[in-house]
């Protein structure tokens, strides 16, 4: 009698991590693979990770699916590197939370959140906690308490069990599996070489320590050995440059502001009883009406809903709606004008003049003069009055003492003191030309 053949691992060829394998003889990894197969998770294939970044970096076509798969893989490797004797339940929690951390994202998520005022974390928790969802069914079959335990990773840090903070650090911190994956992945997809850092060095130098919060609570936390200080510096610098060159790129941001504007216009027209030339996505219409989507409706919402709506709005009788929709479809993007963040008088003067010129051209300033404000702080330093050291990046020194990385690195100290801020106007090309001519005279 032959012995039954061992179950083969499920393999994924990944451009960042090479082979990602899920061992089907391991109960935890079987659950992860079952979650991967749900329609809720497969939906992430239809949502681009970087939204409009492909209008600038044509290789940025990767989806939230591949990123989320990578995050689960990185979280698994972090658990193994720490070698703290984590239980199967703890491994399961972390890997599920890592895999599912982005399931609440809608299409072009950040632009839609601005209009609907519903954050993706709320939908992530809903998709895990709703008894009608596929994800809930998979998790609750393992343990009825598992959906709530996983959903806790998407909630406020202050409500998370103190004794499990090291697990939360793996999923959500300044050195978490999410950031460790997306910096490498987005850098590879965009071709921005500055997005590279020494991932393996950081991974092999991960440690834990017993930390005390500002409230006097003791918990095990994630840290890095001093021997990986330079690797962590490279990681933080890579993140800084990715924000500067990719995430906050002027053309990418102009497209995002145009999407916010066209969604706001559609919302206004819908509220006024406008008869659209064609019926847009019913799911998107419901969101614009301020209604919350059911789990079933949300699982059907993806980038396609936005693109179909834009194609329909392009031929709508409303000139504002049709112009902006057509601009996004044809990559006829608004141009940008940089403003001096520190000069409030100049900002007000430029915006007022842009609004006046827009009106003279027969344009509505609400949709033709878009203000783009954004900033990123590469690293949030330790603040003993408002947080515990574990909320930042702790370094374990050669003497075994724990201190924030900024105490070990002048470069990180400077990064923590500086924010990359942008303030721009996004306007139609012809309006920018008029403004430039005035500035030259």
Q: Find, among 175, 149, 99, the residue nearest to 389 by Cα.
A: 175
Beta strand 420-427 pairing with 335-338? antiparallel
What are the structural domain ranges in the chain?
10-248+395-416, 250-376+422-440
Beta strands in 293-398 (DSSP E): 335-338, 370-376, 394-396
DSSP helix/strand/coil, 277? coil
What would the CATH number be for the domain defined by 10-248+395-416? 1.10.3210.10
Is the distance from CB of 368 to CB of 431 less than 8 angstroms? yes
Encoding tokens for residue 398?
A: 């050669």
Rounded Cα distance, 353 and 440, in Å: 14
Q: Which of 243, 237, 248, 244 is nearest to 415 (CA)?
A: 237
pTM: 0.94
Predicted pLDDT of residue 1: 43
Hey, what CATH topology would domain 250-376+422-440 get? Growth Hormone; Chain: A; (1.20.1250)
pLDDT by 10s per residue, the chain, length 441: 445 556 788 999 999 999 999 999 999 999 999 999 999 999 999 999 999 999 999 999 999 999 999 999 999 999 999 988 899 999 999 999 999 999 999 999 888 888 777 788 889 999 999 999 999 999 999 999 999 999 999 988 888 888 899 999 999 999 999 999 999 999 999 999 888 999 999 999 999 999 876 567 788 999 999 999 999 999 999 999 999 999 999 999 999 999 999 999 999 999 999 988 776 788 988 988 888 889 999 999 999 999 999 999 999 999 999 999 999 999 999 999 999 877 888 899 999 999 999 999 999 999 999 999 998 888 988 877 666 656 789 999 999 999 999 999 999 999 888 778 899 999 999 999 999 888 776
Rg (CA), the chain: 24
CB contact burial 269-302 (16+ within 10 A = b; e otherwise)? beeeeeebeeebbebbbbbbeeeebebeebbbbb
Contact assessment for residue 309 and residue 107, using Cβ atoms and an 8 Å cutoff: no
Q: Cα angle vertex 102, ends 51, 63, to 5°?
A: 40
Show the CA angle centred on residue 172, arms to residues 404 and 119, nearest 5°. 130
Measured CA to CA, the distance from residue 408 to residue 424 in angstroms comes to 36
Q: Which residues contact 255 (CB under 8 A, 6 or more apart)?
A: 51, 52, 55, 328, 333
* Distance from C-alpha of 91 to C-alpha of 337, rounded to nearest angstrom: 49
Tell me if 253 sits within 8 A of 374, measured CB to CB: yes
Q: Give CA–CA dist 198/381, Å, rounded.
A: 22
Residue 338, strand partner residues: 424
């Amino acid at each position: 009698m032959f012995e039954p053949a061992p179950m083969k691992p499920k393999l994924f060829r990944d451009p960042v991590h090479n082979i990602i394998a899920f061992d089907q003889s391991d109960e935890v990894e079987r659950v992860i693979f079952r979650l991967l197969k749900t329609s809720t998770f497969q939906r992430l294939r239809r949502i681009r990770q970087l939204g409009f970044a492909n209008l600038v970096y044509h290789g940025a076509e990767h989806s939230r699916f591949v990123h989320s798969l990578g995050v689960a893989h990185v979280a698994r490797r972090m658990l193994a590197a720490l070698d703290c004797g984590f239980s199967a339940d703890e491994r399961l929690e972390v890997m599920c939370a890592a895999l599912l951390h982005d399931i609440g994202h809608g299409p072009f998520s950040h632009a839609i959140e601005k209009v609907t005022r519903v954050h993706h974390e709320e939908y992530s928790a809903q998709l895990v906690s709703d008894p009608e969802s596929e994800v809930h069914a998979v998790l609750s079959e393992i343990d009825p308490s598992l959906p709530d335990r996983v959903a806790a990773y998407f909630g406020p840090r202050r409500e998370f069990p103190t004794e499990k903070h090291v697990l939360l650090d793996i999923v959500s911190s300044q050195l978490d599996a999410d950031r460790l994956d997306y910096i490498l992945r987005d850098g590879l997809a965009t071709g921005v070489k500055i997005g590279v850092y020494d991932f393996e060095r950081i991974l092999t130098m991960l440690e834990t320590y017993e930390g005390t919060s500002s409230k006097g609570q003791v918990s095990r936390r994630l840290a890095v050995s001093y021997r990986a200080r330079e690797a962590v510096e490279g990681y933080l610098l890579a993140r800084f440059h990715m924000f500067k060159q990719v995430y906050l790129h002027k053309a990418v941001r102009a497209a995002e502001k145009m999407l916010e504007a066209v969604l706001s216009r559609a919302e206004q027209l819908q509220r006024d009883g406008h008869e659209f030339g064609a019926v847009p996505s019913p799911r998107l219409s419901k969101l614009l009406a301020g209604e919350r989507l059911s789990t079933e409706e949300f699982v059907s919402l993806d980038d396609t809903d936005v693109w179909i709506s834009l194609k329909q709005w392009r031929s709508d009788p409303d000139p504002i709606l049709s112009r902006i929709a057509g601009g996004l479809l044809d990559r006829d993007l608004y141009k940008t004008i940089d403003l001096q963040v520190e000069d409030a008088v100049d900002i007000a003067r430029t915006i007022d003049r842009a609004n006046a010129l827009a009106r003279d051209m027969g344009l509505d300033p609400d949709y033709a003069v878009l203000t783009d404000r954004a900033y990123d702080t590469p690293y949030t330093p330790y603040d003993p009055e408002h947080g515990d050291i574990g909320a930042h990046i702790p370094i374990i020194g050669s003497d075994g003492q724990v201190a924030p990385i900024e105490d070990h690195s002048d470069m990180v100290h400077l990064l923590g003191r500086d924010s990359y801020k942008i303030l721009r106007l996004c306007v139609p090309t012809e309006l920018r030309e008029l403004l430039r001519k005035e500035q030259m005279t």
